[in-house]
Amino acid sequence: MLLRHTDKEIKERSALTVNPAKTCQPIGAMYAALGIHNCLPHSHGSQGCCAYHRSTLTRHYKEPVMASTSSFTEGASVFGGQANLLEAIQYIFTVYNPDVIAVHTTCLSEVIGDDIPQILARAREDGEIPEGKYVIHCNTPSFVGSHVTGFANMVKGMVHYFAESGGKKLDQINIIPGWVEPSDMREIKRLAREMGVTTVMFPDTSDVLDAPLTGRHQFYPKGGVTVKELQSIGDSMGTIALGHFASSAAAEALDAKCNVPYEILDIPYGLLATDRFIDTLRRMAKVEVPESINAERGRLVDAISDMQSYFYGKRVALFGDPDQLVALSEFLVTLNMRPVYVVTGTPGKKFEEQMSRVLEEIPEAKFKQAGDIYLLHQWIKNEPVDLLMGNTYGKFIARDEDIPFIRIGFPILDRIGHSYFPTVGYIGALRLVEKILGAIMDRQDRDCPEESFELVM
């Protein structure tokens, strides 16, 4: 990619993106749909789009991703995809027998202007949707937003199609986890259980995209939020939405539809964001924080206290999804590091408002929404950093600029483990501390003179 020829002179670009720090909406919608039990995501567009979305998720999670497609041809591209979608719904229920088909659109079907609600109404009228089965949808044109937007749209679709209110509040809390790893969703549920709180997490990809190898193929793994659970979210005591970009739309829609109060928090990366999540869960469920969770917090604080001298003043560049970047930047500030460059490809002024708050004590910090990795590289070329954090595509900058690199976010295509080990909560934060310290110390050992090559820190 000839990144060594990236120009240091920064010019305003309004019509050109180079190395986008995002991917397209349908990938996010597909990931969210996989978090419903016995659900088959369906791509209303061409086979090529669906193949790309499936392969990207498969390469990140190292798991087979099942999805179907309307398989547009030239005829559907001209006359519309209604016939394709009606035939697909009939075929899918007959052959694959899911509980839910989750339809998302693509650029092609959006440009044509297919009316998905009308098509689904026609399918119901024709008896193509069996009793006790469901078809839901969301609109996900790739030419606006990002994969985070697509995720948010599908989760909002879950609320639209499933949420009901029976008038009697249930002793449970809804948690919308945002785009995090399956292991993160499992860790969030574990923390809630430790506090004695019953939760409904939607979507929930744990035990779906990190299912164990049993030697027997299971088309629909055991994980995912069930239809019954989704139908109950309208009677929950409240909703905790983690991440403004990925989760707030669904929380707001549920409140408007079923009068379920909500609080929007940052994804619980690091000490302070996890503190806020635990405290909100405590208040909303009216429970006490057990000593076991206090002990987890104490171990994290102990590790930070022991190692803070190695973190102090280190300059960091980050790129990725906005919800993750806000919480990660706050955690780095907590470690006395300096997140000086932060770029997300997802558009939204809310990101810059949040980053202004998080980085108010770092005057040299630069951050941009709807930015790209090329701009981040230009910033680094002008004033180098000590650490780079982001998805796999950061490896090219890390190599060309000789910067320690930590992979985090989506997609990570060239490593394993990210989907199995949590980075949320106090335990996840401890893992992040270990990874950051390891990257810094590895570079120190590599570059130091022989007389400073110490065995003990």
Active-site residues, by number, are 107, 111
Give the integer Cα–Cα distance in Å for 144 and 128. 32
DSSP SS3 for 175 = strand
- Edge to edge, what strands does the sheet with 134-138 contain? 68-69, 39-44, 100-105, 134-138
Residues 6+ apart with CB under 8 A from 323: 148, 178, 179, 242, 243, 244, 245, 246, 247, 266, 267
Give the integer Cα–Cα distance in Å for 177 and 203. 7
Helix H or strand E encompassing 105: strand 100-105
Give the integer Cα–Cα distance in Å for 405 and 408. 10
Give the integer Cα–Cα distance in Å for 266 and 247. 10
Cβ–Cβ under 8 Å, residues 169 and 406: no
- Tokens, residue 420: 């199995």
Closest CA to 269 of 306, 194, 320, 200: 320
Vertex 178: Cα angle to 173 and 183 (nearest 5): 90
Give the integer Cα–Cα distance in Å for 119 and 117. 5
Cα 282 to Cα 149, 290, 293, 379, 425: the distances in Å are: 29, 10, 12, 42, 15
Residues 6+ apart with CB under 8 A from 406: 387, 388, 389, 435, 436, 439
Give the integer Cα–Cα distance in Å for 308 and 311. 5
Local structure of residue 5 (DSSP, 8 states): G
- Report CA 395 to chain centroid distance, whole Å: 20
Q: How many C-beta atoms surround the C-beta of residue 334 within 10 A?
A: 16
**Residues comprising the chain, all counted:** 457
Closest CA to 135 of 33, 225, 61: 33
167 phi and psi, to 5 degrees? 90, -5
Closest CA to 272 of 206, 348, 357: 357
